[in-house]
Amino acid sequence: MSTDPIFETDFVKEMARQMRALDTYGTYSGWTVEKILDPYIMTKERKATIPLIGDPDDETISRVKAFYNAIAVLIEKECKLLAVPLVHLTHEGFGRAIITVGKLVAVEKTLRDVHRFGFPSLSKMKDEADKLLGIALERIGQYPDVAGL
């Protein structure tokens, strides 16, 4: 197992939980967190093997949903309010991810080319999640009455 401190962060732990929750057949049993999260790492070499235009498969869509579910869980953990993620995609891989807290849209992200969803590294994935979490917490702080409804 890797000794990288990123594997001890709340986000990476939650991502591993989300991915294990999707594993209905026990495929990930005994796998390391690094191996479970490997499909999220989209290096230039990996990206080059994926066509520019394509429809996302069910596994990719599940990974996108797991990413936003993990962020929603971290929002809940931070502010003790229910955060509800919604990912809506066309069959071509375009759409939107939102996370609502009460009646407040705390996170809104336009998604495109979902069939190529991923990050250059685990660190970059965590940075993106931290950025979205920061935006959400700031909005909740600005509009606590809307978020608390």
pTM of the model: 0.93
Q: Is residue 15 within 8 Å of residue 67, measured between CB atoms?
A: yes
Q: What is the pLDDT of residues 107-116, one digit of tens each?
A: 999 999 999 9
For the chain, the domain total comes to 1
At 8 the pLDDT is 94
Q: What is the pLDDT of residues 6-57, one digit of tens each?
A: 999 999 999 999 999 998 888 898 899 999 999 999 998 998 888 888 889 9
CATH at 101:
1.10.3100.20
At 53 the pLDDT is 85
Rounded average pLDDT over 137-149? 92
- Give the domain range for residue 14: 5-147
User: Would residue 50 be called left, alpha or beta, if left means φ above 0 and alpha means ψ between -120 and 50 degrees?
Assistant: beta
At 117 the pLDDT is 94
Q: Which whole-number Å values give the CA distances from 40 to 96, 98, 100, 104, 105, in the listed order?
A: 18, 20, 24, 28, 25
